[in-house]
């Protein structure tokens, strides 16, 4: 009887694994009108089956990534290539890592994303070369409607975020929709970035304000 229970448990676990693998292998048509409308910045209902499927698939992939040992670097790299739209050859992304779609994220060379990086990529998130992001950072592209009734119906829009080359983002930073961070800028710990950041500048605070201009150093 004990062996029968063990076999039943193994079969159940195997069925879950097969279903999980099948879901990961499902392809998402990123050119679908729902995604095109989101990327365009149009107000729309984000509670569609197509969007829901993409969110579910990405969440499953991120769960698999975050459950994979750091020492299994090749497996982790393969999962990240499956999650992220494009990424350079040299990168380090520590777990946990979370994103909404993944395919709207585009990252250059020599990228470091520290623990608990979250990217809500309903619109494009473009990250240049040599970018360092500290722990507990969130990058948002999604804006929910201010009207409660519309918000509860799923009305939202998305605005891209751009992080140019050689940017250092310290720990516990939130970057809001529509922001561009210029080349060589530094974002201080705990900052809420609500507007564009000039190249080669240091900003910090809530909201983030200019602290110094690195061009003068």
What per-residue confidence (pLDDT) applies to 10? Answer: 44
- Can you give the CATH number for the domain in which 186 is found? 2.160.10.10
Q: Are 99 and 117 in contact (CB under 8 A)?
A: no
Can you give the length of the chain in residues?
Answer: 217
Q: Is 19 part of a structural domain of the chain?
A: no
Q: Does residue 144 carry a catalytic annotation?
A: yes
Alpha-carbon distances, residue 121 vs 7, 20, 152, 216 (angstroms): 42, 23, 20, 35
pTM of the model: 0.86
Q: Which domain holds residue 99?
A: 30-216
- Taking residue 8's Cβ as centre, other Cβ atoms within 10 Å add up to 10
* Cα distance between residue 123 and residue 141, in whole Å: 6
Per the structure block, which two tokens stand in for 124?
């494009």
State the catalytic residue, choosing from 32, 94, 106, 144.
144
The two most distant CA atoms of the chain are separated, in Å, by 77
Confirm if 166 and 184 have CB atoms less than 8 A apart.
yes
Q: What is the pLDDT of residue 6?
A: 53
Residue 112 lies in a domain: yes
Best CA proximity match to 102, nearest among 81, 116, 117, 88 = 81
Can you give the pLDDT at residue 31?
Answer: 87
Q: Which of the residues in the chain have pLDDT under 50?
A: 10-25
Residue 5 included in any domain: no
Name the packing angle between helices 2-25 and 49-66 (round to 10°).
Answer: 120
CA–CA gap between residue 169 and residue 179 (Å, rounded): 13
Is there a domain that residue 25 lies in?
A: no
pLDDT of amino acid 4: 57
Position 13 in a domain? no
Domain count within the chain: 1
| pLDDT confidence of residue 3 | 57
pLDDT at 25: 44
Residue 2, judged by CB atoms within 10 A of its CB (0-12, 13-18, 19+), counts as: exposed
């Amino acid at each position: 009887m004990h062996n029968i229970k063990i076999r039943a448990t193994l079969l159940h676990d195997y069925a879950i694994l097969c279903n999980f693998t099948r879901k990961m292998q499902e392809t998402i048509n990123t050119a679908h009108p729902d995604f095109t409308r989101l990327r365009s910045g149009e107000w729309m209902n984000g509670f569609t089956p197509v969007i829901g499927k993409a969110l579910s698939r990405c969440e499953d992939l991120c769960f698999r990534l975050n459950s994979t040992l750091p020492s299994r670097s090749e497996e982790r790299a393969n999962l990240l290539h499956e999650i992220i739209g494009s990424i350079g050859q040299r990168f380090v992304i520590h777990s946990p890592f979370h994103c909404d779609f993944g395919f709207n994220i585009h990252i250059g060379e020599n990228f470091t994303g520290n623990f608990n990086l979250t990217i809500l990529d309903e619109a494009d998130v473009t990250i240049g070369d040599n970018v360092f992001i500290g722990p507990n950072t969130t990058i948002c592209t999604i804006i929910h409607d201010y009207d409660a009734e519309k918000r509860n119906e799923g009305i939202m829009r998305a605005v891209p975020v751009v992080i140019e080359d050689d940017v250092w983002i310290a720990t516990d930073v939130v970057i809001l929709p529509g922001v561009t961070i210029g080349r060589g800028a530094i974002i201080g710990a705990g900052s809420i970035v609500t507007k564009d950041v000039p190249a080669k500048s240091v900003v910090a605070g809530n909201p983030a304000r200019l602290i110094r201009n690195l061009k003068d150093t």
